[in-house]
Amino acid sequence: MAKTHAWIIDDDAIYTFTIKRLLEKNDLAHKIDVFNNGRDALEKLQLINCVKDYPDIILLDINMPVLDGWQFLDEFVHVADRTSITLYMVSSSIDPRDKEKSKLYKDINDFIIKPVSVKSLQNIMMVNSSENTD
Amino acid sequence: MDNSPPNPSLLQAPIAIAYLDKDLNYIIHSKKWCDDHKLNLDNIVGMNHYDLFPNTSKNWREVHLRVLSGCYESNAAEKFIRKDGSELWLRWSVNPTYDKSQIVNGMVMTSENITESMNARLKIDREHQLLLDASDKAKIGSWEISYLTGELYWSDVTKKIHELDLDYVPDVMSALNFYKPGINQEIITQMFTTSRLTGEQFDVDLQIITAKGNERWVRSVMKAEMFKGNCIRQFGTFEDITDKVTSDIRFKHASKKFHDVFEASGVGMLVIDPIDLKITQANPSICELLNFDQEHIKTASLGEFISKTEFPVLFNSVTDLLNKKIDHLTIDINLKKSTGRFVICSIVGTLIEDENGDPVDLVIQIVDISEIKKKEQELKTFTSYVERQNQRLLNFAHIVSHNLRSHSSNFEVLLQLYQQETKEADKNSIIHLLNSSSTQLSETIDHLNQVVALNTDKIELSTIYLKENIFKVMENISTNIKTNNVNVDVDVDDDFTIDASPAYLESILLNLLTNSIKYRKKNVQTRIVIKAFKYNGKCRIIFQDNGKGIDMKLNGHKVFGMYKTFHGNADARGLGLYMTKNQVEAMGGSIRVQSQIDVGTTFKITL
């Protein structure tokens, strides 16, 4: 069923392993790319010529080296045709300031606090695939 | 009465006199008659009076007719207007003359020119009247005593001042008795007597007791009119000056009070000329504060106690005060003591103006606020210390919130996966990850211990040789330096000393060195330059590398933050520079960074 292409942008290797594994095991994504920081992901995004090659969904961490989540977003807003991408902020931070700040970015669909459960992953992907079939 | 025409020698008589017959032809006359009447003739005998005075009025003609019928006519003072318009006052008489049969056969006319004395008299009268009028308008009473009639006159205002009814009839004795018994009565009696005897004029302020028993201050002015050495009249004015005297007394009291406050005040006070800032008065407190004697300060200008750099501040404030842009002068300024040292003072100044609103004095109060400023500085230092502590607590909370939680959530998800995995190989790989997660957790807890252990209280500083310490640290990481072929250039004098905590200094040097090696550029020879020199009495250490550099625009604000890494290196912990900054600050110093991508990074430490 899953035709979803997901990007995980996070420097925590254990976290990315678990998310990747959960998506695969529950058949929630057919393609998963992992980036260790915002810069790598942004560079990849800028190389893509065709909108259909964009990911359907991005799970973005906040604290990362080189280019953190916020800095990635500051660049991301300049990406044309980014409306086809559903972006989630995923962080261990329960600092209310982070959550407040995320509301300032229209491109952020929601702010998810780690750990990410199978159920919330399913919800994220279901919403996204239903949007795709519309 | 001998009415026969007199002797011709009458011509030389010193009065104007003329005998005329019934037809008013001149029989004989004195020469003065012609002079007084400006006839330009010496001898008018035989000439007719009406020919000589063609403009003789009807009234005069009637007088002549009445005299010829036996009447005696005279006037003590009558005004005439001459042909040339000038005024002439005459005392005149026209009497009939009789023949032997006692029949009127003519008339004798005398006239005396009294213009001069009349004018003098009128002048006095006019002045008197003016005085009375003015007195009444100005609520100044008047009085007059005539020694010809013995009458004492008091104006209504004079009676009012005495709180008497307007129908009161004064006499000299009771008038003098209204003056307050004692010196007041003595003075007024003396003056009154002297004035009457000599005509001397007096002007005196004295106290009276009114009819109702109230004490009042009055100004009494007296003059006397003398005639042939005798006083014929005394007169003067009488003014109630109680309010003025009271306000004078109040003013004296206020002045005395100001003077007492000025002298006794614990606050430094100066009276200054607001225009040239010359000091005119200085109280003991300001002398004590500035440690100068009063004579020195009183001959100085305020500017002499203020530094050139701060003087414009005072000058502009005083200008604003003079231009009424501000009501009071309020500034904090350093004043120079006799020792040459400056003491910070708070100055409050008020402008004193005269009745025209022109500035006269600038009264300033000066308080030594160096203690307050010191306390303020202590408070600021304390506040910034508390702020830093707070920031550390916040960072601490952030680590607990973020870093510990990321480990725990990894554990949670890994354990869930472990339960779902069926293959032994997958299970093993999860166990492996659980292991590394556990290691990372230990590391994080170790970091927390370091942050908690960071002592930001005043730490013990000792004087140490910098170069020696740099070499000691390099020795500890010599393998690292050799392996990576790093060239460290230590440009520090052998005897260069620095006041620092040895442990902190070592930790800082170690951190900067390992950072430079960690973030070196792989394709070029790594070069680190360490310089040290004295700068403004402090030590400055420059630590420069030619490494990857940091994007300051992007991450400049995060360089010294906790858990901030910029290069994606696997061994980056994001704690080193945070610790470095805290250690530098704990020693009372500061650290700044300059960096450029692909060029290198420079740290400047000031201790």
Nearest-CA distance A3 → chain B (Å): 23
End residue of a domain, out of B453, B480, B505:
B453
**Mean pLDDT calculated for residue range B541-563:** 85
Say what the pLDDT of residue B572 is: 57
Task: Specify whether B466 is located in the same domain as B583.
Answer: yes
In a domain, B257, yes or no: no
End-to-end CA distance of chain A: 15
Task: Specify whether B599 is located in the same domain as B487.
Answer: yes
Cα dihedral sign, B262-B263-B264-B266: positive
Q: How far is CA B31 from the centre of its chain?
A: 79
Q: CB A63 to CB B420 under 8 A? A: no
When the pLDDT of each residue in chain B is averaged and rounded to a whole number, the result is 87
Backbone angle region of B229, left / alpha / beta, with phi > 0 → left and psi within -120 to 50 → alpha: left
Q: Environment class of residue B362 by beta-carbon count within 10 Å: exposed (0-12), middle (13-18) or buried (19+)?
A: buried
Q: Report, in angstroms and rounded to the nearest whole number, the Rg of chain A calculated over CA atoms.
A: 14
CA distances (Å), origin B168, targets B34, B158, B162, B177, B478: 55, 11, 10, 15, 124
pLDDT at B53 over 50: yes
In a domain, B259, yes or no: no
pLDDT at B179 over 90: yes
Using DSSP, state whether B487 is helix, strand or coil.
strand
Task: Specify whether B473 is located in the same domain as B572.
Answer: yes
End residue of a domain, out of B113, B145, B172:
B113
As a whole number of angstroms, the distance between CA B12 and CA B353 comes to 75
Characterize the bridge pairing of strands B215-227 and B230-240. antiparallel
Q: CB B436 to CB A14 under 8 A? A: yes
Q: Which residues contact B390 (CB under 8 A, 6 or more apart)?
A: none
**How does residue B2 score in pLDDT terms, banded at 50, 70 and 90?**
very low
Say what the pLDDT of residue B35 is: 85
Q: Environment class of residue B442 by beta-carbon count within 10 Å: exposed (0-12), middle (13-18) or buried (19+)?
A: exposed
As a whole number of angstroms, the distance between CA B605 and CA B222 comes to 93
**How does residue B374 score in pLDDT terms, banded at 50, 70 and 90?**
very high
Q: CB B554 to CB A67 under 8 A? A: yes
CA distances (Å), origin B563, targets B408, B551, B567: 18, 17, 12
Percent of residues, chain B, with pLDDT higher than 70: 95
As a whole number of angstroms, the distance between CA B398 and CA B4 comes to 149
Residue ranges in B170-241 assigned as alpha helix (H): 172-177, 183-198
B-chain CB neighbours of A18 within 8 Å are: 410, 413-414, 417
pLDDT at A35 over 90: yes
Tell whether B428 is within 8 A of chain A (Cβ).
Answer: no
For B129-163, the pLDDT digits (tens) are 777 777 667 778 889 998 888 888 998 889 999 99
Say what the pLDDT of residue B43 is: 84
pLDDT at A121 over 70: yes
pLDDT at B565 over 80: no
- Structural domains of chain A, with CATH: 5-133 (3.40.50.2300)
Q: Which residues contact B467 (CB under 8 A, 6 or more apart)?
A: B490, B492, B493, B494, B496
For B184-228, the pLDDT digits (tens) are 999 999 999 999 999 899 999 999 999 999 999 999 999 998 888
Say what the pLDDT of residue B592 is: 93
Task: Specify whether B498 is located in the same domain as B550.
Answer: yes
Q: CB A65 to CB B567 under 8 A? A: yes
Say what the pLDDT of residue B6 is: 55
Task: Specify whether B567 is located in the same domain as B585.
Answer: yes
Angle, alpha carbons B500-B503-B506 (nearest 5°): 85
Task: Specify whether B196 is located in the same domain as B288.
Answer: no
What's the DSSP call for residue B302? Answer: G
Full 3-state SS string of B9-34: HHHHCCCEEEEEECCCEEEEECHHHH
| Tally of structural domains, chain B | 5
Say what the pLDDT of residue B1 is: 43
pLDDT at A92 over 80: yes
Tell whether B420 is within 8 A of chain A (Cβ).
Answer: yes
Task: Specify whether B527 is located in the same domain as B410.
Answer: no
pLDDT at B399 over 70: no
Task: Specify whether B413 is located in the same domain as B278.
Answer: no
Q: CB A11 to CB B568 under 8 A? A: yes
Choose between A44 and A80: higher pLDDT.
A44
Tokens found for residue A70: 């916020």
Task: Specify whether B97 is located in the same domain as B139.
Answer: no
Percent of residues, chain B, with pLDDT higher than 90: 38
Q: Determine which of A10, A63, A64, A74 to mutate to test the interface with B (most B C-beta atoms within 10 Å).
A: A63
Residues A8, A32: contact at Cβ < 8 Å?
yes
Task: Specify whether B154 is located in the same domain as B217.
Answer: yes
pLDDT at B505 over 50: yes
- Measured in degrees and rounded to the nearest 5, phi and psi for residue A31 equal -145, 130
CATH at residue B222: 3.30.450.20
Q: Which residues contact A121 (CB under 8 A, 6 or more apart)?
A: A19, A22, A23, A26, A28
Q: CB B403 to CB A92 under 8 A? A: yes
In a domain, B149, yes or no: yes
Full 3-state SS string of chain A: CCCCEEEEECCCHHHHHHHHHHHHHCCCCCEEEEECCHHHHHHHHHHCCCHHHCCCEEEECCCCCCCCHHHHHHHHCCCCCHHHCEEEEEECCCCHHHHHHHHCCCCEEEEEECCCCHHHHHHHHHHHHHHHHC
In a domain, B148, yes or no: yes
Say what the pLDDT of residue B41 is: 81
Q: How far is CA B64 from the centre of its chain?
A: 83
Nearest-CA distance A102 → chain B (Å): 16
Nearest-CA distance A35 → chain B (Å): 11
- Name the residue facing A66 among B398, B406, B566 (closest C-beta): B566
Characterize the bridge pairing of strands A86-91 and A108-113. parallel
Say what the pLDDT of residue A2 is: 54
**How does residue B533 score in pLDDT terms, banded at 50, 70 and 90?**
very high
Task: Specify whether B212 is located in the same domain as B227.
Answer: yes
When the pLDDT of each residue in chain A is averaged and rounded to a whole number, the result is 86
Tell whether B401 is within 8 A of chain A (Cβ).
Answer: yes
Q: CB A115 to CB B412 under 8 A? A: yes
Task: Specify whether B330 is located in the same domain as B272.
Answer: yes
Nearest-CA distance B548 → chain A (Å): 12
For B60-108, the pLDDT digits (tens) are 899 999 999 989 999 888 888 776 777 888 889 999 999 888 899 999 9
Q: CB B410 to CB A21 under 8 A? A: no
Find, in chain B, the residue whose alpha carbon is nearest to that of A67. Answer: B566
Q: How far is CA B394 from the centre of its chain?
A: 52
Nearest-CA distance B562 → chain A (Å): 11
Q: CB A114 to CB B405 under 8 A? A: yes
Neighbours of B220 (CB within 10 A): 22
A-chain CB neighbours of B436 within 8 Å are: 14
Residue indicated by tokens 């929630």: A28
CA distances (Å), origin B416, targets A19, A22, B434, B449: 12, 10, 12, 30
Give the largest Cα separation in chain B, rounded: 191
**Mean pLDDT calculated for residue range A121-134:** 68
In a domain, B288, yes or no: yes
Q: CB B405 to CB A22 under 8 A? A: no
Say what the pLDDT of residue B3 is: 47
As a whole number of angstroms, the distance between CA B594 and CA B603 comes to 6
pLDDT at B284 over 80: yes
Cα dihedral sign, B95-B101-B106-B109: negative
B-chain CB neighbours of A17 within 8 Å are: 433
In a domain, B251, yes or no: no
Least confident of A95-99, B316-320, B421-425: A95-99
* Structural domain boundaries enclosing B97: 8-113
Chain A to chain B, count of Cβ pairs less than 8 Å apart?
A: 65
Least confident of B336-340, B377-381, B446-450, B493-497: B446-450
Q: Which residues contact B461 (CB under 8 A, 6 or more apart)?
A: B499, B500, B501, B587, B588
In a domain, B137, yes or no: yes
Q: CB B410 to CB A93 under 8 A? A: no
Before A115, cis peptide (omega within 30)?
yes
End residue of a domain, out of B368, B402, B424:
B368
In a domain, B73, yes or no: yes
